């Protein structure tokens, strides 16, 4: 039974709010790091732009699958909730542990390291400056989110608009740059050309769109609006990425992209001098702030959901009604992220260490979420579906195959950190012994009640 002192998430987010948060999560550091890697894996300019379009299509397929799940099963626990309904509470708890200890906290630490690297270039504070900036950014943004959803949302809207504006400026400089500044195109084919490898980098850059699922419990009219959020957000992302890469290609050329270690900085230095390079550095800091704030915002929701299913740390499952946020979940998430920053600071490249640590676990669970769609259709045939994914079952099948390919690639191309991340997930198995027999929360905020199946009620209702 629901405890009287607990509050539940309220529908306070509009379509505009949710799209802004989604775009803010995805349009982050990737677009400043991966174009040169993609260029090194293709043999023509057409292929370079083509893989960005293909990555957008894969993202759209995944977004459509998530739209059906989130519209039919809206909940602040997002993927945690989908997995619980499809596979049972044990799988959901294991995912909650994986997200809280590896996936989300690893992503927070990775973005914080990039923010620290570029902030230290603008205002150096010593050899440990990047790690210090990373830790301070996590502390500050966690405190802001604890203060409340309204404050975090306001910052996110402002920062995202600044970020998109700066990327738009880069696009404009690229298309309006003088032809004399452009690097002449040279027809060469890299020995490492491989479309599959290029897609790995492209999909990593598009990564983060799935975080929108954690907004479904706080989105107004999620049955109707969730698909709009995901489709509009994906369309904005594809347009931004395609235009940004076309602009980079216009100035640097394909070989210039392959040889660059900082494509946006090199492009802006050619067309706008050192001032342009400084603008890019500031843009990357803003992009990292946007991604970090949005990732912290959505990440703590799974701590809230998991804590209501286990007997350990029940206070983490409390919703702060005043701030409209899972305050204790945010504090727990911040503590784990700071620990990962400390561990990453001891490695040669903190960002790469966090990517290696989190990528395989992320793609494994994303595959399970995609598979949950046909499972839930089969197990709950009477459930009303406000949105149905088109071309079913082809669409979820393509999404699941994409996830399996990325899982294989992340294991094949990452370092020992990948196996450390998998080991940490397995270390969470004892949590399954502390599952609640009766949940303290109320029923699932679905649009229509689930069919009267006792097993499904036990596994999914909150």
Mean pLDDT for all residues in the chain: 78
pTM, two decimal places: 0.75
**CA nearest to 223, candidates 461, 447, 460, 450:** 447
Domain assignment of residue 111, yes or no:
yes
Q: What is the DSSP letter of 106?
A: H
Number of domains, the chain: 1
As a whole number of angstroms, the distance between CA 9 and CA 453 comes to 26
Domain assignment of residue 351, yes or no:
yes
Residue 343's SS3 state is helix
As a whole number of angstroms, the distance between CA 318 and CA 127 comes to 40
| Tokens standing for residue 192 | 């490492």
**CA nearest to 237, candidates 209, 211, 267, 277:** 209
Please write the tens of the pLDDT for every residue from 256-288.
888 876 677 778 778 777 777 777 777 777 777
Domain assignment of residue 458, yes or no:
no
| Tokens standing for residue 108 | 């927070």
Position 192 scores a pLDDT of 46
pLDDT value at 406 more than 80:
yes
Burial 231-255 (b: 16+ CB within 10 A, else e): bbbbebbbebbbbbbbbbbbbbbbb
Q: Which domain holds residue 120?
A: 15-435
Q: How far is CA 332 from the centre of its chain?
A: 19
Domain assignment of residue 448, yes or no:
no
User: Regarding predicted confidence, which is higher, 278 or 370?
Assistant: 370
Domain assignment of residue 2, yes or no:
no
Domain assignment of residue 447, yes or no:
no
Q: Confidence class of residue 4 from pLDDT cuts 50, 70 and 90? A: very low
Domain assignment of residue 4, yes or no:
no
Domain assignment of residue 236, yes or no:
yes
User: Regarding predicted confidence, which is higher, 8 or 462?
Assistant: 8
Q: What is the CATH number of the domain that holds 356?
A: 1.20.1740.10
Helix and strand numbers (H, E) in the chain are: 16, 0
Q: What is the mean pLDDT of residues 232-257?
A: 88
H or E stretch at 10:
none
């Amino acid at each position: 039974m629901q405890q009287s002192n607990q509050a539940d998430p309220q529908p306070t987010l509009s379509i505009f709010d949710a799209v802004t948060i989604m775009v803010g999560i995805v349009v982050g550091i990737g677009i400043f790091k991966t174009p040169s890697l993609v260029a090194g894996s293709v043999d023509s300019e057409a292929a370079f732009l083509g893989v960005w379009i293909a990555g957008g299509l894969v993202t759209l397929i995944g977004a459509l699958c998530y739209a059906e799940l989130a519209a039919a099963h809206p909940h602040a626990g997002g993927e945690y909730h989908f997995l619980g309904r499809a596979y049972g509470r044990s799988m959901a708890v294991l995912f909650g542990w994986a997200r809280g200890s590896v996936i989300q906290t690893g992503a927070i630490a990775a973005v914080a390291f990039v923010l620290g690297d570029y902030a230290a270039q603008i205002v150096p504070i010593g050899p440990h400056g990047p790690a210090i900036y990373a830790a301070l950014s996590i502390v500050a943004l966690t405190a802001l989110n604890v203060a409340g959803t309204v404050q975090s949302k306001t910052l996110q809207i402002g920062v995202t608009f600044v970020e998109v504006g700066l990327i738009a400026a880069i696009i404009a400089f690229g298309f309006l740059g003088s032809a004399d500044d452009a690097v002449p195109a040279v027809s060469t084919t890299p020995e490492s050309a491989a479309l599959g490898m290029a897609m790995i980098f492209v999909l990593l850059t598009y990564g983060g769109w799935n975080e929108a699922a954690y907004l479904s419990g706080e989105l107004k009219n999620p049955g109707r609006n969730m698909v709009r959020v995901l489709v509009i957000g994906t369309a904005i992302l594809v347009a931004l990425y395609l235009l940004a890469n076309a602009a980079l290609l216009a100035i640097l050329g394909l070989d210039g992209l392959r040889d660059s270690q900082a494509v946006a900085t090199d492009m802006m230095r050619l067309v706008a001098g050192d001032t342009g390079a400084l603008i890019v550095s500031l843009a990357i800091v803003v992009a990292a702030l946007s991604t970090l704030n949005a990732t912290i915002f959505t990440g703590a929701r799974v701590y809230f959901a998991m804590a209501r299913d286990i007997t350990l740390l029940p206070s983490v499952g409390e919703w702060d009604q005043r701030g409209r946020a899972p305050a204790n979940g945010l504090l727990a998430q911040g503590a784990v992220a700071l620990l990962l920053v400390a561990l990453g600071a001891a490695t040669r490249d903190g960002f790469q260490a966090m990517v290696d640590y989190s990528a395989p676990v992320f793609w494994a669970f994303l595959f399970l979420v995609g598979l949950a769609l046909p499972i839930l259709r089969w197990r709950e045939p009477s459930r009303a579906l406000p949105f149905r994914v088109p071309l079913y079952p082809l669409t979820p099948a393509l999404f699941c195959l994409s996830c399996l390919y990325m899982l294989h690639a992340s294991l094949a191309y990452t370092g020992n950190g990948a196996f450390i991340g998998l080991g940490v997930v397995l270390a969470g198995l004892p949590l399954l012994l502390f599952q609640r027999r009766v949940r303290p929360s109320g029923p699932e905020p679905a649009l229509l009640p689930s069919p009267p199946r006792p097993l499904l009620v036990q596994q999914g209702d909150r």
